[in-house]
Structure formats: C-alpha cells, structure tokens
Chain A
Amino acid sequence: MQRRDFLRGLSVAAASAVVVTPSMSFAADEKPKGSNALSYKEALAAVTGSKTPEVSKKIALKVPEIAENGAVVPVTVEVDHPMNEDDYVKSIHIFATKNGNSRCVDAHLSPANGKAMLSTRVKLGETQEVAALVELSNGTFLIASQSVKVTIGGCG
C-alpha cells in the first residue's frame, strides 16, 4: 500500500468516527427510568412511616469495602436479637442508596427462624452506601449502613 492511500484511509475513518460519536452520546443521555424506580428516602419512608430509625450496633452488616464487579456484591445482615414468640425480628430490608430502584430485599421473618439473618447478592450501579433496616416486633426500627466502592457498575 502506498503511503498516500494509507493516509487517505485514515482521514476517512476519522471523519466517520466524528459522525458516530454525537449520536452515541445522545443515546446515553436519555436513560430510561425503571417501572419500579424509587429513591432511597421514599423507600425508607414507605417502610418506617413517621418513625425515625435508630443507628444500632446490634446489626452486623457485611459488605466488601471495594467491589470490583458491581453486578455481584455479596451482602450479609445479621441481627443480634433473640427470636422468641413475643420478641423477635420482624423484618430485614436491604437498600442500595443510589440505585434507580433502591429496594433490594424485604425479608419478613418469624420466630421459627431461630436466628435473624439474611444473605444475598445485589447489583450496585455506582459507588454508594448499602443500608440495612431492621424492624423489631415491638415496632422499633434499627439501621446500619456501610459505603461500598464500586469499580465497574453493574446496572445496565
């Protein structure tokens, strides 16, 4: 191939690249909202109602500090609370604060569980905080949260 031909080819490729980029950025701008989209504040208010949850050390929230892959982030919530017939952990909720739909799991437990624990894997779109909200049978709410650094987002 002649040097002249090569350079001509190069300029054509550059021109086409310029044409493509604006349309691509336009497509990225109009990100759709999911049908279940709900912000963290709204989701929290929907569960707790008018009560304010109390930050507690009884909840052991195990999340990696740095998640390389946001598509699979293991989350474990353990609550140090007895599971008797009249005093037990009613439910455990996991929230990802900056996801489009911040709700991940609502687990409704019963005294038949023996121990209050919930473990699963969630998707995280970006670096954010993961929160665990616990409702006790007497109506009080406990909360714990930890920030997770996400290297590659896992939502879309």
Chain B
Amino acid sequence: MSKRKTLIKVKPNKFKNGDIVKVSFMVMHPMETGLRKDKKTGKFIPAEYIKNVKFEYNGKVFTNMNVWETLSVNPVLTTYMKVDGEGTIKVTFTDNEGTVEESSIKIKPKG
C-alpha cells in the first residue's frame, strides 16, 4: 500500500530556544468505522482507522496518543512542545491492521 500523505506543522514560524511551540500532525486517512454500508453493493465497508500516534523529538517521546475511529476523516492532532535546540520531530502512527508509518521534519530555532 502506498504511503499516506502526512503533514507536520510547527507554529509560530519563528521561534527561539526554550520557546513553547504548537505541533500539529495531519494525515490523509479515511478513518472508516466499519459500520457504514456501501450504497451500491449493500455491504459493510471494512474498518480502517489509526490506533496510535506517537510524537518524538530527538528520539524522546513527548506525547503518545491512543486514537479511536471516532475521529474525523483526515484527522488533525495538535499538542505543544518545548524547543530545546536543533533537532527532528518524528511522528509515528499505527493503523488498526498494524501497519506502522512515520514522517519527520527538521526544526532549527533562531536566536
């Protein structure tokens, strides 16, 4: 299966060492509950949702989320993070079928 489109955003754009920034993670995902019926065939669409989302900064987990199918289509998850020097933010997410995918960005504080 092809990789899902993801996006990690850090707000505000300019930040210094020690600042607290907003980190949002977006993923293009159907978040199927498994209770919806296909209108053409009348069969249930199989469940497909994200189970776990893990936010890491320089290899250290700062937020770990358990997620259920009750989230909207293409979910957005936002939390705060304290900047501590240059580094990478890595987000790992696990599907209900156990497929693990990850995406990361590099951040560089100014001043």
Partner of B62 from the list A73, A104, A112, A154 (CB cut-off 8 Å) is A112
* Residues B59-89 near A (CB distance < 8 A): 60-73, 75-82
Q: Is the CB of A107 within 8 A of B79?
A: yes
- A89-124, CB < 8 A from B: 96, 99-110, 112-123
Binding site for A on B (CB under 8 A): 20, 22, 24, 31, 33-37, 44, 47, 57, 60-73, 75-82
How many residues from A make CB contacts under 8 Å with B? 36
Is A9 engaged at the interface, CB distance under 8 Å to the other chain?
A: no
B62-A107 in contact (CB<8A): no
Give chain A nearest CB distance to B38 CB in angstroms.
Answer: 12
Kindly state whether residue A22 has any CB partner on chain B within 8 Å. no
Partner of B20, one of A107, A115, A121: A115
| Cα distance, A99 to B71, chains bound together (Å) | 11
Interface check A55, CB cutoff 8 A:
no
Measured CA separation A100–B70 after assembly (Å): 9
Residues of chain A from 34 to 81 with CB closer than 8 A to chain B in the complex: 34-36, 71-73
Chain B residues positioned under 8 Å from A120 (CB to CB): 71-72, 75-78
A105 with B65: in contact, given A155-B33, A156-B33 (CB under 8 Å)?
yes
A139 interface residue per 8 A CB criterion: no
